[in-house]
Amino acid sequence: QVQLVESGGGLVQAGGSLRLSCVASGRTFSRYAMGWFRQAPGKEREFVAAISSSGATTYYLASVKGRFTISRDNAKNTVYLQMNSLKSDDTAAYYCAARSTSTAAVTTRLYDYWGQGTQVTISS
């Protein structure tokens, strides 16, 4: 069992930056691929970014590529999402997820564990 706790959300002006963090419980974090997803009101949860267990492979939603960076520190059981040049369309609840395999994935149903989410609100 893996428990995930996100932090770092908040209210920021368009063009600003935020860094989200997700801390995982357990001693096997380095074996899990990790992902970030988001869900805006009235919309389905969508993939944002994913990273393999080693950190060697990353994937991004097209609309965030070049603005967002996913990274991980296996010694700290933590995955990060650095978000720059934020836009109003980025407003959503952001969720961290873990997959019980080393390979990153972009599909929601392939992830086994989810955090409670952290709200990101971008003001224009």
**For 6-46, what is each residue's pLDDT tens digit?**
999 999 999 999 999 999 998 799 999 999 999 999 999 99
Mean pLDDT score, 96-121: 97
CA dist., res. 103 & res. 98, Å (int): 11
What pLDDT shows up at residue 65? 98
Asked if pLDDT for residue 48 goes beyond 90, the answer is yes
Given this model, what pLDDT does residue 71 score? 98
Task: Note the pLDDT of residue 63.
Answer: 97
pLDDT of residue 26: 80
pLDDT on residue 1:
83
Q: Residue 90: its pLDDT value, please?
A: 98
Q: What is the pLDDT of residue 27?
A: 78
Per-position b or e across 47-73, b if 16+ CB within 10 A of its CB: bbbbbbbebeeebbbeebeeebbbebe
Section 67-89 average pLDDT: 97
In this prediction, residue 16 carries a pLDDT of 98
